[in-house]
Amino acid sequence: MKEHAILLEKVQADITGCLRFAETKNGALLAFDIALLFGIPKIPDVSVKVKYIVTAMIIYSLIITLWSFWPINKKIKKAEKRKVNCDLLHFAYIAMYTRNEYLVELYKSYWKNEVVDFDKISQEEKDLAQEIVMNSRIAVRKQNLFKISLGITEMALVLLLIKTVESLLRMVIS
């Protein structure tokens, strides 16, 4: 049973690292978007309309990023099952399980127990598995919000770049 707790503690540490990384990425994107908000008005030769559109997109991205930091005080639903490689140590895969499903998969895969008696599993293992599953779901949520927010920021920057180049070409041609 000790090796079970050791593996669960290792997975818990890895998932906590993934969660920190997701929060760091969201924090960096938040800072970048704020810097963009202050820089957009200073861009010369781009129409006010384009600046408003880009600013609105960046504000939308900011709201989504801020939402990723909002504390979650209720249970997060398990992630939808999708085709991913079976990796019982990866947060995106773990997020698709309940605590008991995750423990069953671990016991089958790592400790070759096909039948799992939950009465014989220590409370420490159950608690660690629950924390691993919940933190995995939080990490997936933060990762998904980051992807959405980053996509919006990228679209805003592409629009701004296109309009800036278009404006510069007009100046060169005339």
Domain count across the chain: 1
Predicted model pTM: 0.86
Boundaries of domain holding 76: 2-173
Q: Summarize pLDDT for 54-73 with one digit per residue, the tens.
A: 999 999 999 999 999 998 76
Cα distances from 17 to residues 13, 22, 95, in angstroms, run 6, 9, 15
Instruction: Using CA atoms of 112, 114, 120, 124 in order, give the dihedral in degrees to the nearest 10.
Output: 60
Query: How many angstroms separate the CA atoms of 14 and 36, rounded?
Result: 33
pLDDT at position 74, please? 67
pLDDT at position 116, please? 79
Burial of 134 (0-12, 13-18, 19+ CB in 10 A): middle
> Highest-confidence range of 81-85, 87-91, 154-158, by mean pLDDT?
154-158
Count other Cβ atoms within 10 Å, centred on residue 112.
7
